[in-house]
Structure 1
Amino acid sequence: MAVEELAAPPRLGPLYRSAALTAVRRKALGGGGPSGALPDTEMRVREVAVDREHLARYDRVCGFRLTDELPATYPHILAFPLAVALMARPDFPLALVGLVHVANRIEVHRPLTADDRFELRVHAEDLREHERGRQVDLVAEALVDGETVWTGRSVYLRRERKSGGSDRRPEPTPPPEGGALWRVTPRVGTDYADVSGDHNPIHTSRVGARLLGFPTPIAHGMWSKARCLAALEGRLPAAYAVDVAFKLPVPLPSTVTFTATQAGSEHWRFGLHGAKSGKPHLTGEVIHRS
C-alpha cells in the first residue's frame, strides 16, 4: 500500500468544495464516478498534538466532563479530515457528495490523554455491494510511539437504484420506558460543525438540508454517538469497543429519548429514539476489551 504523508490534517472546507466540483464533472460526463477498485493509499500525519482548549470545547458540545482524558470519539475528529481527503480523490469509486454514514465502530485500546502525541493513519477497504447501493469502510488508527492505541471504522453507503433493492425505513416502535429526554436544538448542528470542522450544510442550513432532501438540518451522527457515551461517562471500562448503527437522522430541533441497559458489569446497550414517534435514530453497544 502506498503511503501519502501530510504535514498536518487538511482543512475540510477546500476538500468539500473539490468533491462538489468532482461530482459536477462526473454528472456532466453522465456517470457516477469510477467503478473500479479503491485507492491503494494510506493517508498519514505524524505528531498530532491535542489542543486542550479545543478538547474543552468538544467536551462541552458533546456533554463530556472537562478533563484531560480524551473521549473515545475525540480521535475520530482528528482523523476525519484524512478520511475526507481520501474520499475526495477523483479516483475514489464512490462520490463523496451523497455518501451516508451508516455505522461506526471505535476501539479504545487504552485510556488516552491530552498529553499523547498521535500518528494518524487512514485507509479505505472492503468496497462491497449493498441492497441499496454500495458500501465502503474508512479505517482510522491512532498510534503513540508505534503502538496502536485507538481504531475507528466508519461505514459509508452510496445509495444507488438497484433492481430488487429495498429502501424500506425502520419500523417505528415505542422507545423503551424510563429513558432520559434530550432536547436537541439547532445549536447542536452549528456548534458541532465549529468544533469538528465538518460544516456540511445538511447539518447547519435549512436551505442546504432541503437541497439534500431533508425538511430541516439534521444532527451529525458522531455527535449523537458522543452524546450517548457522555451519558455513560464514569461507567465505562478502561479499554472497550463501542459499535453504533445510525438509523434515522435526528432532526434539528427535536426531542429524543436516550436509554441504556447494562448486560454484565462492563457491557452496555443503548439507543436514541424519537420521544413521540418512537422512531429509532441510533442503536449502540459497549463491549469490554480484555
Structure 2
Amino acid sequence: MASLTASLARGALTSPFKRAGRPDATLPPDRPTRPEAPVAPGPLAAYGRICGFPESGPLPLTYPHVLAFPLTMRLMTGRAFPLPVLGLVHTWIEITPHRAVAPAEPLELTVYAEQLTPHRRGTEVTMATEARVGGELVWESRSGYLSRHRHTAPEGTTPDRETPEGTAPDDTAPDATTPDATTSDRATPERAAAERGTAPVTALPPAAGGLPARAEWRLPGDLGRRYGAVSGDRNPIHLHPVTARLFGFPRAIAHGMWTVARCLAEAGDPSSIRSVRAGFRAPVLLPATVTYAADATGNAFELRGEKGRVHLVGTVTRRAGVSGPG
C-alpha cells in the first residue's frame, strides 16, 4: 500500500505540470510488472464481502484489476505519462477471463498504456492489464480513462462510449485492508449486507421500461471510504463531500469499479463468463438507493438511480452451452 500512497502523492504533485491534449503527446513504453505472487486471503475476503461475492470459488472477475491498480497508478503518475492523473475519470472497462482463476494460484500482473484517442470532451487513454499463471495468460482487461479539456475535436474523434463515472452531475455534455470478518460478523443477512456496503436485497416489481428490476440496494455515505480501504483507490471524489466538492460534486461518489463488481456478483458462476463489457453513464452520489436490473439470463444489466437515471450499463458473454444465474 505504501507504493500506491507514494504514487497518489506523486500524481497530485505532477498533475498541475501536465497539459492534456498536446498534439505531440505519446504514451510511455513501460510495462510495470508484479512478479508471480499468491493472492492474500485477508484482503480478498474483505473485497468479496463489500462487493457481494461468495466466500469460496474462483477469483472474482474484477479482482485482478484491483491487484494491478498500484502498477497502473505508478505508470499513470510517472513523468512520461502525458495526462494529469487528477481529474482523470474511468469511462468503460472490458474484462476477458481466459479461464477461471483459483485464489491459491500465484498471479503475475502487467499493465501498460495502449492508446491515446481524441475524444470530443478531451483525450481518452486505454490502459491494459494482464494476469498470468506460470506464463499462461489467464485474464486481461482494457479500461478507458478520460482527461477532460477544451479543444476542437477533429473529424473522426471517438464518440462518447459512455458518460464517465467522474462526470459532475451538472455536466450537460454527452464518468488499508479491512480485517477478516468472523462467523458472528456474518450471522445475519443484514450484517452481511452491511459488509457489502448495501442494505438487504429487496425484490422489486418489473421496471416500467428498460431491463426488469431485480433488486434495490441502499448505499451508505461512507461506501467510498470503505471500498477505498479495500481496493487502495483513494481518489478524493470518492472519500468525502468536502474533497468531492473540489472536483465539482456535491457529495462523494461511489467507485465505478465497485458498481461493476457488485453487479457481477449477481451474474452467477464466473467460470461461465467469457467476457464483460461495462460503461459508466453517470456518477452515483452517496448515500444513494440504486436499482440493479437485468434480463432473464443475466447477460445484460444496468444500475439505475431513484429517478430512473442510468448509472451503469453492461453486457456479459457466456461460454457456449452455459446459462446465466437463472
- Name the amino acid aligned to 1:244: A
1:220 has 2:250 as partner = no
1:109-136: CA deviation from partner (whole Å, max 9, x where unpaired):
1111111111111110111111111111
- Tell me which residue corresponds to 2:291: 257
Answer with 79-88 or 17-26: which moved more: 17-26
Q: Is the CA contact 1:63–1:230 (under 8 Å) kept in the aligned structure 2?
A: yes
Cα pair 2:16 2:84 within 8 Å, conserved: no
Which residue in 1 is equivalent to 2:231? 196
Alpha-carbon distance, 1:55 to partner: 0.9
1:107–1:47 CA distance, 2 compared to 1 (3 A): same
Q: What is the DSSP-based 3-state SS (H/G/I as helix, E as strand, rest coil) of the residue aligned with 2:32?
A: strand
Matched letter for residue 99 of structure 1: L
User: Does residue 19 of structure 1 match 2:54?
Assistant: no
Q: AA paired with 1:254?
A: A
Give the alignment's TM-score, normalised by structure 2: 0.78
Mapped partners of 1:158, 1:272: distance in 2: 24
Instruction: With the length of structure 1 as denominator, give the TM-score of the two structures.
Output: 0.87
Task: Work out the CA distance in 1 between the residues paired with 2:259 and 2:318.
Answer: 21
Distance 1:180 1:169, change over 3 A: farther
User: Residue 43 of structure 1 aligns with which residue?
Assistant: 32
Task: Name which of 152, 162, 165 aligns with 2:151.
Answer: 162
5+ residue gaps, structure 1, are 1-8
| In 1: Cα distance, 2:97 partner to 2:153 partner | 39
Note closer, same or farther for the CA distance 1:186–1:199 as it changes in structure 2 (3 Å cut): same
Query: Does structure 2 retain, via aligned residues, the 8 Å contact 1:175–1:279?
Result: no
User: Who is 2:310 aligned against?
Assistant: 280
CA deviation digits over 1:128-155, x for unaligned, max 9? Answer: 1111111111100000011000001110
1:55-106 alpha-carbon deviations (Å, 9 max, x no partner)? 1100101011111521000111011111111110111111111111000011
Using the alignment, how far apart are the partners of 2:96 and 2:80 within structure 1? 29
Letter in 2 for 1:247: R
* AA in 2 matched with 1:189: G
Equivalents in 2 of 1:164, 1:59: separation in Å? 41
Matches within 5 A, 1:52-67: 52-67=41-56
| Residues 1:244 and 2:278 are matched in the alignment | yes
SS of match in other structure, 1:11: helix
Q: Extract unaligned runs of 5+ from structure 2.
A: 155-159, 161-170, 175-207, 321-326
8 Å CA contact 2:20–2:149 kept in 1: the answer is: no
The answer on whether the counterparts of 2:292 and 2:303 sit within 8 Å (CA) in structure 1 is yes
1:239, CA displacement in angstroms?
4.2
Deviates more, 1:221-230 or 1:106-115: 106-115
Matches within 5 A, 1:102-251: 102-163=91-152, 168-169=172-173, 176-234=211-269, 236-251=270-285
User: Are positions 1:268 and 2:268 aligned together?
Assistant: no
Rounded to whole Å, the distance in 1 between the matches of 2:20 and 2:58 is 42
Whichever structure has more strand as a proportion of its residues is 1
| Cα pair distance change 1:100/1:151, threshold 3 Å | same
TM-align CA RMSD: 2.2
Tell me how far apart the structure 2 counterparts of residues 72 and 175 of structure 1 sit (CA, whole Å): 26
CA distance in 2, matches of 1:129, 1:164: 7
Distance 1:284 1:110 in 2: 20
Q: 1:248 to 1:169 in 2, by over 3 A?
A: farther
Q: Contact between 1:174 and 1:278, CA under 8 Å: does it hold in 2?
A: no
Q: Which moved more, 1:186-195 or 1:144-153?
A: 186-195
Opposite residue 151 of structure 2, the aligned amino acid is K
Q: CA deviation at 1:187?
A: 2.9
- CA deviation after TM superposition for structure 1 residue 32, in Å: 4.5
Identity, % of aligned positions: 42
Shift of 1:190: 1.4
